[in-house]
Amino acid sequence: MAEINTSDGGGKGGKKRSKKVSTKVDMTPMVDLAFLLITFFMLATTLQKQQIMTYRTPPMEQSPDPPELKASKAMTIILGEKDKVFYYFIDQSGVPEFFETDYSEEGIRKVLLERKKIVGAELSVVVKPMETSTYQNFVDMMDEFAITGIERKIFDKITDLDLELVAKEESLEATK
């Protein structure tokens, strides 16, 4: 393990010199211990379990009588480019009230909480990602649903009407 070499003062006669002591430390046991500790902690820790998020998608084939979704209990969210979020509600006259927000606490989370307070647990949210939105936008929206406790979420393809509403909103933003 460790070894100490001693030598006499050297020389034949004369003055006696103090002995020089040199040490040599063998690091092999310390390296072995380090690898044992690393192995132990790797095997002893529990890995984070994946959480599964559930959501509903529309059926691939059209059913003869699709379930009705009341406009007063529905909200549509469009995931846009550059982290923009558009949402709209359809009022009693059938005209959409269209708005733009972001992913902050004062953005879409506040909107979801307010709408959930008005409608209750029956709130259904339809999410329509645009071609230019990112996967991170989708994950952020799923996180917002988990935070706000919204259970009814449906993911659908974006329609031409939705694209027109987004284009109209962006043109209004450009004129401001």
User: How far lies 50's CA from each of 20, 53, 92, in Å?
Assistant: 62, 10, 42
Amino acid 3: pLDDT: 63
Residue 118 CA to residue 158 CA, distance in Å, equals: 26
Amino acid 37: pLDDT: 93
Q: What is the pLDDT along the chain (176 residues), one digit of tens a residue?
A: 556 665 555 556 567 777 777 778 888 989 999 999 999 988 888 777 777 766 666 666 766 665 566 767 788 888 888 888 888 888 767 777 778 888 887 888 888 888 888 877 788 888 888 888 888 888 888 888 888 888 888 888 888 887 878 787 777 666 65
**85, 144 Cβ separation under 8 angstroms:** no
Kindly state the tokens that stand for 2: 């460790």
Kindly report the pTM of this predicted structure. Answer: 0.59
